[in-house]
Each structure stands twice: as C-alpha cells, then as structure tokens.
A and B are shown apart, each in its own frame.
Chain A
Amino acid sequence: MLRFAVRRIVLLVPVIVGLSLLIFAIARLLPGDPVTLAAGPNATQAEIADLAREFGLDQPLPVQYWHYATGLVTGDWGQSIFTRRPVLEDLKAYLPATLELVVVAMVLAIVIGIPAGLLAAVYRDRWPDYVSRVVSLGAISMPRFFLGLLLQLGLAMWLGWLPLGGRFPLTEDPPPFVTGFLTIDSLWAGDPHAFGVALAYLALPAFATCLSPLATITRMMRATTLEVLQQDYVLTERALGLSQRLIIFKYVLKNAMSSTLTVIGLYFGWLLGGTVLVETVFDWPGIGLYATKAIVTQDFMPVMGVTLTIGVLFVAVNLVVDLLYGLLNPKVRYE
C-alpha cells in the first residue's frame, strides 16, 4: 500500500510536466497578439517590441517554455499582461472562493444524492424511482446558468430572501484569513453573524453547482444498490429473514462510500472548471470569473495558471480518491 502510494505520487511528476507542456503548447498555438493588445491604443512599434521583450515573448519557444517551467517551480507563474499582477498571487486570492463553492456543492450533492438513490433502488419501478430518474436526468440537462438565473429571479429578485450575488456584503470586512473559506473562517473567528451571511451568499450558487454531481450520485447509488440487492448473499440473507433495512445498512453503506468517492474523483476537476458559468451569474469572485476575464482580453498567463491549477488539483484529488478506494476495499489490487 505504502509503496503503491509513493509510486503514484512519483508518477505525478511526469503528469504535471506533461500538463504544463500541453497548456503551454495550446496557449502558444492560439492566434491573437496579446502584446499588441496590452501595449494599448497609442503604442508604437518600439513600445510593442519592448513589451514583448519584457515578457520574454521574443525568444524561441523552447526557451520560453523553459522559463515558464522553471518559473512554475520557483513560484513565478508569470504576470497578467494587463494588470501586471503576479498570476500566483491572483490565484491565491481567487481559488478559495471557487474551492469553497465546489466543496459545499459536493457536500450538498452527497447529502441529498445518497438517500435519493437508495430510495429509487428500494422502490424500483415505482413512483419514487421514476421521479428520481426524471429529476436527475432533468438536473443533468438543466443549463446551470439558466437555473442560476431562475433562482436569482425567484429567490433574490421576487422574494428577496437571498442576496443577488457576490460572496460577502460589500461594506463589511470578511473574517480574518485562515483557510480562505468564509464559512470556516467566520466560525474560527467565533462570528456566527458572519457565518450566517456567508451561508446566505453561498446558498444559490452552491445549489446551482450541485445539480450535476447530485444527479450522477443519485443514479450511481441506485445502480449499485440494485446490484447489491440482487447478489446471492443478500438474497440468502433476506431469505433467512433479515429485514431489508438492515441489509441495506449492512451492504449498501460501503457502496455509498465508493460511489461517493467516484463522483468526487469525476466531478472535482470538472466542477472547478465548470463553475465559470455559475460564477458569472452570481458574480462569485472565484477563478472561473478570473479566467473568463483573462480569456476575453486574451491575457494568457492567467488562463494558463488557472488551467494548470485545475489540472493539478484534478490529478491530486483523483490520487487521493484512488488511495481511499484501496483503504476502503482492500480487494482492489494495486498494479
């Protein structure tokens, strides 16, 4: 087990190198001339050349990649060509917001999805099953930005129960930085008011984000539970008079864990990149919004930074998920 873990971690290195190479290649293959754009309306040719030199864009591609790669290691992720701010600093500022949103959405999905899937399996081909299937397909099909707008329209504009968007009231100072998660930081600071406020701001974006993983987890839970219920040993135990409730708790729990893990592995990276839409609708100051702005201005250092961060997080989370699988189910053989 330990050897396996170490091996997997060592194997991450080429993956990350590959990611950086791929991202670099994509960024450089794109058309568009960010330097001219950044130099501004009145720049002369000489000024444009100066700027290109300053950003090292006049050098051959391998050299540029070498600079980029060594920079990644030493904490220099380049700077935005427009705001001139270091990308790593920006990422540190914006990533916690997105992580908090994704984690809360995942928790929501798991907390709702597991019982829903169980119900659907137990009541197979009866109305709870149909409802959960239609609803989960509907949830997958629902464009998150449209759902976001509807939630905004209903709960924020018409009813006025929840804030329209943003992460924290403008005129208040957020709790002191500990984890960057406002919910945790406010509790840490012993400020229940700030905690409530942070939750109120989180509610709608988190709900809009959680739908896809929720639907997937529901469907997976249903499928695995059905499988379990049809296993010989379960049928035997049932024949022996064990109540269905007990059987479900006995066998299904483990399945719940593993389908949860699978969904986390599947969705974590996807959600990190996919929150763009929700962040746009709710003006959530995360990396999605940051990336969108950079994309629109063709400012590629921030875009590369965001993509790489998401890629690395995705790989790392999947590694953790794989290791947990092993702990959970020792029968899984490590190659």
Chain B
Amino acid sequence: MSASATPDARASAVAARRQNWRRAAYRFQQSWLSIVGLAIVVLLFVAAVAGPSLVPYPADIAGGINTATRFEAPSIAHLFGTNELGQDVFTLVIAGARISLLSGVAVVVLGALAGTIVGALAGYYGGWTDEILMRIADLKLTLPSLILAMAVAAALGAGLVNTIIAIALTWWPGYARLVRGEVIAKKEELFVQVAQALGAGTGRILRRHILPNIVSPIIVKMSLDMGFAILTVASLGFIGIGVKPPTPEWGSLLSIARNYMPDYWWTAMFPGLAIFLAVFGFNLLGDGLRDVLDPRARR
C-alpha cells in the first residue's frame, strides 16, 4: 500500500481482499477436478513428510537390502512386490515422494526466483537492460530445455542437488517474461508513480509496491509448473543422469526396473504410476488455482 493510504481505505482494501479470497475458495470448490487434484497433492505431502515413518521397511530407504526375498510379486507383506535386491517397492515409492516433491519445489522456487529478478529488472529499467535480458530469455526459450538440462546435469555429475540446479537453469525464462510484463503494467499505475514521486528507491518500489501485487500470477505459474518440474526430474532420472544410489527417485527406479519387464512388471509399474499421479495431481490443482486466482485466463 502506498504511503498516502488512509486507515479507512486500508480497511476496505483488506475487506475486499478477504472477499476475493472467499469468492475464490467458492469457485475452487465448484470444480471437483481441482478438489481431486488437491487431494492427490495433500496425499503426496503426507507421504513426503511422514512417509519414512509409515512405511513397512524403513531400512530399505537408505539402501538396506535383503537378497533372500528378491523379485517377489505383490502380496500382503509387500504391497508392490520386491525388487532385484529384495527391497520393498512400496517403501521405495513412498520414500520417493519426498525426493520428487522436494526437487520439484526447489526447481520451481529457484526458477521463479531467478526469473523474477531478471524480469523485474528488465521490466523496471526498460531500455538496453530489458533488451539484453529478454533477448537472452527468448533465445533460451528456443533451445531444447531437456537436452540442455541433461547436458548440464551430466557435466555436474550425479546427485539430486546437481539435477535441481541443472533443471532450474533452464526454468527461469518463463518467469522472467511473466514478471516483466506485469512489472511494466504495474509501473504505470498510480500508487507506484506516487511512491516514486515521494522518493522511494528502486529496490524498495520493486519489493514493497510492485512485486506483492504480482504474486498471484507467479503462484499460479508455479503451481502449474510443479507437475512439469517433477516430470523433468523424473525424466533425467530415467535417462540415467540423476540421483546417486540408494536415493529412491521415481525416474531412476523406473529406469532400473525397465530391464525387468515384463516378468517383474511391478518394479516398473508402481514408480511409473507414482510419477503420473504426482504430475496429474499438481496439474489438476494448478488448473483449478489458475481459474480461481487468475480469472482473466478462465475459459
């Protein structure tokens, strides 16, 4: 809020915002697909947070093996069967939720952070800064991001952190474009002009006045991107450029299990389904959130 706002105006703004939220929540509830998405996502978060203490064979997560029970088909003792080292596939899949969510969130947050900074600078300063930053972003968007991420990840070496960095490096241009557009639009609005006239510095204006007002499209994009971030992490794992063993990452579990198809199909089926479910959940949720928070995009 700008410095000149009266307490009254502030109160009514808060009330209006609250009402917006209520309306949004109502719209969200109207769409059962979004609810399904939310349910899946909540389930994932539960698995990610509490998973390791819920699973039947927690030792397997850190690489515990039991070669006496290799390749057992799904049963009561092993809901999703066991793999080539006798590890419980159910345990690994549940434990994988934490890895996937964590890396998905990290990729999206890093990408959004970098993109926001670039986009805000470009949009605010305009001119040459804008020109250069945006041309780089445009060029980046024309390059095949998966191949680039693979190349960077391979050069950095295996490991979850390296994978995340590699993907985040290809992730920022979308945010930069989005933020730049919003910043240019907001820059012209009255409250920013006023703040500028009152002598607020660039950093302060961006941080206090512009960015808070463009958070919702960023959040919408982040939630829409979560699914794809998870998918990309899994893709790298599947190609074999990803985490180190014994990290139970879904994509790499699938890539290993590929060799045991069709006879030991369960080792591949469940990690694959987990990836699908996670991406699907976030996409449903993101779709719902977009309808709610960004009504302009509603169709």
Contact = CB atoms under 8 A, between A and B. Distances in A.
Interface string B187-209: 00000000000000000000000
A149 B258 contact: yes
Nearest to B166: A30
A292 B139 contact: no
B144 A269 contact: yes
A327 B106 CA distance: 44
B177 to A, nearest CB: 14
B152 A30 contact: yes
A87 B38 CA distance: 48
A298 B235 contact: no
Given A22-B139, A292-B150, A149 B268 contact: yes
B154 A298 contact: yes
Interface string A43-68: 00000000000000000000000000
A248 interface: no
Nearest to B154: A295
Give the size category of A's interface with B. 35 or more
A303 interface: yes
Nearest to B298: A223
A31 B254 CA distance: 28
Contacts of A30: 151-152, 155-156
B181 interface: no
Interface stretch (B60-68, B82-90, B109-117, B279-287): B279-287
B2 interface: no
B244 interface: no
A143 B234 contact: yes
A227 interface: yes
A137 interface: yes
Nearest to A288: B147
Contact of A303 (B33, B136, B147, B265): B147
Interface string A6-20: 000000000100110
Contact of A137 (B239, B265, B287, B299): B287
B229 to A, nearest CB: 13
B239 A292 contact: yes
Nearest to A291: B147
A140 B151 CA distance: 24
Interface string B125-160: 000000000011001101111111011101110000
A26 B152 CA distance: 8
A227 B265 CA distance: 45
Contact of B239 (A152, A153, A280, A306): A280
A180 interface: no
A295 B153 CA distance: 9
Contacts, number: 131
A143 B143 contact: no
B299 A146 contact: no
Interface string A291-335: 110011010100100110011001100000000000000000000
B299 A227 contact: yes
A291 B150 CA distance: 9
Nearest to A130: B33
A189 interface: no
A18 B146 contact: no
B293 interface: no
A149 B265 CA distance: 10
Interface in B51-102: none
Contacts of B136: 18, 22
A127 interface: no
Most buried by A among B139, B240, B279: B139
Contact of B299 (A23, A143, A152, A223): A223
Given A133-B33, A141-B279, A153-B261, A276 B147 contact: yes
Nearest to B140: A22
Contacts of B231: 141, 143
Contacts of A15: 139, 142
Contacts of B241: 295-296
B238 interface: yes
B279 to A, nearest CB: 4
B265 A153 contact: yes
Interface of B: 33, 135-136, 139-140, 142-148, 150-152, 154-156, 227, 231, 234-235, 238-241, 251, 254, 258, 261-262, 265, 268, 272, 275-276, 279-280, 283-284, 287, 299
4 closest pairs, A vs B, by CB?
A: A273-B144, A30-B155, A141-B280, A146-B272
9 contacts: A26-B148, A145-B254, A153-B261, A227-B299, A269-B144, A274-B146, A276-B146, A288-B147, A296-B240
Given A276-B239, A306-B144, 7 more contacts: A15-B142, A18-B139, A26-B148, A137-B287, A153-B262, A274-B146, A291-B150
